[in-house]
Amino acid sequence: MTTIDRLVGAGIDRIDGPAKVRGTAPYAFEHDPGEPIAHLAVVQSTVNNGRVTGIDASAAEAMSGVLVVLTPENAPRLVGELSSDLPVLQSHDVHYSGQIVAAVVAETSEIAKAAAAVVDVEYDAQPPDVVLTADRDDLYAPEQVMAGFATDSVIGDVGSALAAAAVTVDATYETPTEHNNPIEMHTSMARWDGDSLTLWDANQGPHTIVRDLATGFGLEPAQVRVISPYVGGAFGSKAFAHPNQILAAMAARVVRRTVVFELTRRQMFSLVGHRTPTIQRLRLGADADGRLTALSHEVVEHTSTISEFAEQTATCTRVLYAGANRRTTHRLGRLDVPPPTIMRAPGETPGMFALESAMDELAVALGIDPVELRIRNEPSQDPERNVPWSSRHLVECLRTGAERFGWAGRDLRPRMRTEGRWLIGTGVAAATYPTRRRKAECRISVDGRGHHVVEIDGSDIGTGAWTTLSQIAADALGVGMDAVELRIGDSRLPFAGGAGGSTGLASWGSAIVLTARELRRRIDDEYGGQVPADGVVVDGGVDGASPHAETHSMHAFGAHFVEVRVDQDTGEVRVPRATSVYDAGTIVNAKTARSQFLGGFSMGVSMALHEETLVDPRLGHYVNHDLAGYHIATNADIGELDISWLDEPDELANELGLKGIGEIGITGAAAAVANAYWHATGLRIRDLPITPDKYFRELGLA
Amino acid sequence: MDTEITLRVDGAAHPLTVDTRTTLLDALRERLRNTSPKKGCDHGQCGACTVLLDGRRVNSCLVLAVTVGDAEVTTSDGLATDDRPHALHRSFVEHDAFQCGYCTPGQVCSAAGMLAEARAGWPSAVSDDGEIDLTDAEIRERMSGNLCRCAAYANIVPAVAAVAADEGVRR
């Protein structure tokens, strides 16, 4: 990797920064389609499980400025078969509260919303089934869980090992329904030219959206162009197509005009996915020295009646610690809820809250320092796949973090520090997330003046990809960044998978490196080292997983140390400071990477203290479906964050030695907060979020 | 009902027709196609639409366009002078005080309005008696009306602090 030694690693300002701070970088709604835009507003079902028996749209249709009202009666039929909630207005059946049952297209957004409000819909409905419990008799085992993992894993005999263990923990942890809530609402603007469709859209990967649009409308993929150069956050909800892309395209075809569908914040709670609630039973057994002899992680979660999304919640327990006897299971309940989807680190985020809380409980039961307990259970190889690690430096993260945080001398006992009304405690948790590489194609051209154009359908949802891919390309081409013009976020560009699973730079960056190498080789071999006047174009890429992925276990790791303060009078919880240390391989841009880490960790604090979508068990609706009711961390909720990383490239993972950093920061963060909360108060909160009322609940005062 | 109004935005006057229900935010985004103020909730809950109205920060989604009158609307883009970025623009980029960038023009306008409030001596919920000193705690408190789901908060604070120090409202 001799070519990669200059820009990669530097803390370079975002190249898209100047436009973003002024607000001139165009997001989905903000492109110019070249003609007046019609606006779409939807009518959503008020029942969860039933059938539309009648729609009266006459009042809406009579409104001046209304172009059309689409209902299951008159909506055009989709051609190809789409799954989940994508067949919009194709049936009278209702599967969840908030499902689209009608859509109004009008000259202005005000008219569209007013007209949608007077569409009268009648239903024949059954009572909603929306409450997940661990003792439902209809839970089932899916064929596999997300990302291709096995549903269950069984090694040894957990039951006997638990019975023989010197110390055991048996506890159940719960995480609530959570919503991604990127600040840019999901928005799709569609324009047809004959049988060709252009969609300016908020998503994590244009090619993914093209696939479903082409299927739905019976088009060749080349007839669909999805353009998404700037995306205002996503965190998983924009990974896959949702009803908005299909409906915008359908409506634009009907009215023969450009149509924009910008969801409202409230509509986002039912129409673009959520993280399933989880109920997780953890059983750990250890010998008197704290060496794990048994690990059992049993997960209950939900999916919808029209889709199967099986979050891989227990897979972290297959990786993190040694132990001879192990069992992980996933069971699903099919409820009358909207289809769940990916939310930042699906699996690891809820799973690590349970596992790392249980490890803290085990440390307490043993009277062992929780950092030391984790170090004692460091596995020499992947404990379930029995293959070596490509690289693993969790112990170094724990030791470095403990040093930076000032962990030494911590009293093992809880509720030992107070300052006025404040109870003060500290906690630790590990972090882990898989390292993967996916198929990606790339084209690089260079002209006679040395100007390089790098084309790949990567995506920058805030990750910094505009900048980091430019750094990677410049280094691989042996030129400065000013000689590189990057093009991403357009399905006309060479294929790449979307931004997700922390695979972006591993996949797109590797494709760029390999294509750049081939370009330089050709210039040397075929043109004597001199680019010809009419330039050179090279296509390249990577096929998929690292060739070492079968023989090695590849993961990023980290450790969080958190201080928590709890107000004894109000139950208010504060996180004044935290230290996180990461083992994430090569860091491409020290500035944007730090933002990824601190953003992920802060979202974990938000999960720990604030985030919870409440569902009304009688009416089946999400109750707190806006940003006043669904609380996310604000500026005042986040304290001093000390972020650092180890300089340990993973030579087996990919061409750059990086592990992916979009998700590692959130994993384990909520457990670190909960563990520090226990240390401050002596109270163990096993159901997130840790809201002030739970302090009094645990004390028996509420 | 449609009404003819003239909006003064970033130094230019724009005659336009709006529905009486049209918010200032929608007048800017949907009628004038000004991309600087963003829509994140349309309910005054997120702050992404923050603009300055005669120098004071407002959630433009909560202002009806017909009520703006002759007031000067300043967006983040309008804070630049002669195409030179504002000190807050430069500081936000230098401190990487954003990721996706969608809430950012609102954060910048909010910071500009907040610095003016501090210069005018307006206290916040965490202010001590006496002259305003924009400590980190003050900045966190005063910037908490602007949500950032990427959670760049830990970078927004030093980005604003650097400008506050230059302006003499941070000791």
Q: Among positive and negative, which fits the CA dihedral A207, A208, A211, A214? A: negative
C-beta neighbour count of A570 within 10 angstroms: 11
Q: Does B26 touch chain A (CB under 8 A)?
A: yes
Average pLDDT, chain B: 97
For A592, which of B80, B96, B156 is closest by C-beta distance? B96
Q: Does B3 touch chain A (CB under 8 A)?
A: no
Q: Does B160 touch chain A (CB under 8 A)?
A: no
For A595, which of B21, B104, B155 is closest by C-beta distance? B155
CA distance A692 to chain B (A): 20
Q: Which pLDDT tens digit goes with each residue over A490-512?
A: 999 999 999 999 999 999 999 99
Q: What phi, psi does A257 have (nearest 5°)?
A: -145, 165
Q: How far apart are CA A565 and CA A562, in angstroms?
A: 10
Of A687, A580, A571, A552, the C-alpha closest to A639 is: A580
Q: Which residues of A81-111 are buried (b: 16+ CB within 10 A; e: fewer)?
A: ebebbbbbbbebebbbbbbbbbbbbbbbbbb
Taking an 8 Å cut-off on Cβ atoms, the answer to whether A21 and B98 are in contact is: yes
Report pLDDT for A702.
Answer: 76
Enumerate the residues of chain A whose CB falls inside 8 A of the CB of residue B39: 29, 185, 262
Q: Which pLDDT tens digit goes with each residue over A189-230?
A: 999 999 999 999 999 999 999 999 999 999 999 999 999 999
Give the H/E segment covering residue A357. Answer: helix A348-366
DSSP state of B23: B
What is the end-to-end Cα distance of chain B in Å, rounded?
52
Enumerate the residues of chain A whose CB falls inside 8 A of the CB of residue B157: 635
Place of tokens 């009266």: A56
Q: Does B57 touch chain A (CB under 8 A)?
A: no
* Contact assessment for residue A31 and residue A200, using Cβ atoms and an 8 Å cutoff: yes
Which one of B84, B99, B108 would you mutate to disrupt binding with A, by most A Cβ within 10 Å of its Cβ? B99
Taking an 8 Å cut-off on Cβ atoms, the answer to whether A21 and B156 are in contact is: no
Report pLDDT for A282.
Answer: 98
Structure token digits, residue B129? 């008696």
Report pLDDT for A5.
Answer: 56
For A23, which of B22, B36, B46 is closest by C-beta distance? B36
Q: Does B25 touch chain A (CB under 8 A)?
A: no
Taking an 8 Å cut-off on Cβ atoms, the answer to whether B36 and A627 are in contact is: no
Report pLDDT for B28.
Answer: 98
Phi-psi region of A23 (alpha: psi -120 to 50; beta: other; left: phi over 0): left
At B1, the pLDDT band (50, 70, 90 cuts) reads confident
Q: Does B134 touch chain A (CB under 8 A)?
A: no
Whether the predicted pLDDT of A4 surpasses 50 = no
Q: Is A403 a residue of the active site?
A: no
For A635, which of B21, B30, B144 is closest by C-beta distance? B144
Q: Which pLDDT tens digit goes with each residue over B2-33?
A: 999 999 999 999 999 999 999 999 999 999 99
Q: What percent of chain A has pLDDT over 70?
A: 99
Enumerate the residues of chain A whose CB falls inside 8 A of the CB of residue B148: 183, 635
* Contact assessment for residue A330 and residue A141, using Cβ atoms and an 8 Å cutoff: yes
Strands A292-304 and A278-286: antiparallel
Whether the predicted pLDDT of B83 surpasses 90 = no
Q: Which pLDDT tens digit goes with each residue over A258-306?
A: 999 999 999 999 999 999 999 999 999 999 999 999 999 999 999 999 9
Q: What is the mean pLDDT of residues A320-343?
A: 98
Q: How far apart are CA A158 and CA A135, in angstroms?
A: 21
Q: How far apart are CA A252 and CA B55, in angstroms?
A: 40
For residue A228, count CB atoms less than 10 angstroms from its CB and return exposed for 0-12, middle for 13-18, buried for 19 or more. Answer: buried
Q: Does B77 touch chain A (CB under 8 A)?
A: yes
For A24, which of B77, B102, B155 is closest by C-beta distance? B77
Q: How far apart are CA A57 and CA A63, in angstroms?
A: 10
Q: How far apart are CA B53 and CA B37, in angstroms?
A: 13
Q: Which residues of A54-63 are buried (b: 16+ CB within 10 A; e: fewer)?
A: ebebeebeee
Q: What is the mean pLDDT of residues A408-420?
A: 98
Which one of A21, A108, A460, A610 would you mutate to disrupt binding with B, by most B Cβ within 10 Å of its Cβ? A21
Enumerate the residues of chain B whose CB falls inside 8 A of the CB of residue A108: 19, 22, 30
* Beta bridge partners of residue A43, listed in sequence order: A102
Taking an 8 Å cut-off on Cβ atoms, the answer to whether B96 and A13 are in contact is: yes
DSSP state of A143: S
Q: Which residues contact A325 (CB under 8 A, 6 or more apart)?
A: A155, A156, A157, A158, A160, A161, A162, A285, A293, A294, A295
Packing angle, helices A669-681 and A590-609, rounded to 10: 50
Q: Does B157 touch chain A (CB under 8 A)?
A: yes
Q: Which residues contact A576 (CB under 8 A, 6 or more apart)?
A: A563, A565, A639, A640
Q: Does B35 touch chain A (CB under 8 A)?
A: yes
Q: Which residues contact A127 (CB under 8 A, 6 or more apart)?
A: A49, A618
Which one of B79, B90, B153 would you mutate to disrupt binding with A, by most A Cβ within 10 Å of its Cβ? B153
Annotated catalytic residue, options A356, A655, A663, A698: A663
Q: How far apart are CA B168 and CA B149, in angstroms?
A: 30
Q: How far apart are CA B106 and CA A362, in angstroms?
A: 46
CA distance B84 to chain A (A): 10
For B151, which of A37, A628, A638 is closest by C-beta distance? A638
Structure token digits, residue A596? 């990824």
Report pLDDT for A325.
Answer: 98
Enumerate the residues of chain B whose CB falls inside 8 A of the CB of residue A343: none
Q: Which pLDDT tens digit goes with each residue over A72-84?
A: 999 999 999 999 9
* Beta bridge partners of residue A681, listed in sequence order: none
Chains A & B: contacts with CB separation below 8 Å: 189
Of A18, A174, A429, A637, the C-alpha closest to B149 is: A637
Q: Which pLDDT tens digit goes with each residue over A90-104?
A: 999 999 999 999 999
Report pLDDT for A155.
Answer: 98
Q: Does B133 touch chain A (CB under 8 A)?
A: no
CA distance A606 to chain B (A): 9
Taking an 8 Å cut-off on Cβ atoms, the answer to whether A606 and B151 are in contact is: yes
Q: How far is CA A354 from CA A287, A425, A659, in A?
A: 21, 19, 24
Enumerate the residues of chain A whose CB falls inside 8 A of the CB of residue B21: 110, 114
Enumerate the residues of chain B whose CB falls inside 8 A of the CB of residue A233: 99-100, 102, 149-150
DSSP state of A277: P
The model carries a pTM of 0.98
Report pLDDT for B82.
Answer: 83
SS3 A355: helix
Of B65, B56, B79, B80, the C-alpha closest to B4 is: B65
Place of tokens 């991604």: A180
Q: How far apart are CA B40 and CA B147, in angstroms?
A: 9
Q: How far apart are CA A598 and CA B9, in angstroms?
A: 36
* Contact assessment for residue B22 and residue B6, using Cβ atoms and an 8 Å cutoff: no
For B93, which of A13, A461, A637 is closest by C-beta distance? A13
Q: How far apart are CA B44 and CA B26, in angstroms?
A: 13
CA distance A169 to chain B (A): 34
Maximum Cα–Cα distance across chain B? 52
| Cα angle, residue A198 at apex, residues A192 and A199 outer, rounded to 5° | 120
Assign 3-class secondary structure to A383-416: CCCCCCEEECCHHHHHHHHHHHHCCCCCCCCCCC
Q: How far is CA A653 from CA A545, A647, A648, A657, in A?
A: 9, 15, 12, 6
Report pLDDT for A1.
Answer: 38
DSSP state of A695: H
Q: What is the mean pLDDT of residues A457-477?
A: 98
Enumerate the residues of chain B whose CB falls inside 8 A of the CB of residue A30: 29, 33, 35
For A627, which of B26, B45, B92 is closest by C-beta distance? B45
Q: Which residues of A16-50 are buried (b: 16+ CB within 10 A; e: fewer)?
A: bbbbbbbbbbebbbbbebeeebbbbbbbbbbbbbb
Give the H/E segment covering residue A445. Answer: strand A440-446
Q: How far apart are CA A267 and CA A5, in angstroms?
A: 47
Taking an 8 Å cut-off on Cβ atoms, the answer to whether A265 and B38 are in contact is: no
CA distance A114 to chain B (A): 10
* Contact assessment for residue B157 and residue B136, using Cβ atoms and an 8 Å cutoff: yes
Per-position DSSP letters for A581-611, written without gaps between them: EEE-B--S-HHHHHHHHHHHHHHHHHHHHT-
Taking an 8 Å cut-off on Cβ atoms, the answer to whether A627 and B41 are in contact is: yes
Q: What is the mean pLDDT of residues B132-145?
A: 98
Q: Which long-range contacts (CB under 8 A, 24 or more apart) does A54-57 make?
A: A54/A121, A54/A122, A55/A101, A55/A102, A55/A119, A55/A120, A55/A121, A55/A122, A56/A119, A56/A120, A56/A121, A57/A102, A57/A119, A57/A120
Report pLDDT for A2.
Answer: 41
Per-position DSSP letters for A460-516, written without gaps between them: -SSSSHHHHHHHHHHHHHTS-GGGEEEE-SBTTSSPB--S-TT-HIIIIIHHHHHHH
Place of tokens 């088009």: A219
Q: How far apart are CA B32 and CA B24, in angstroms?
A: 10
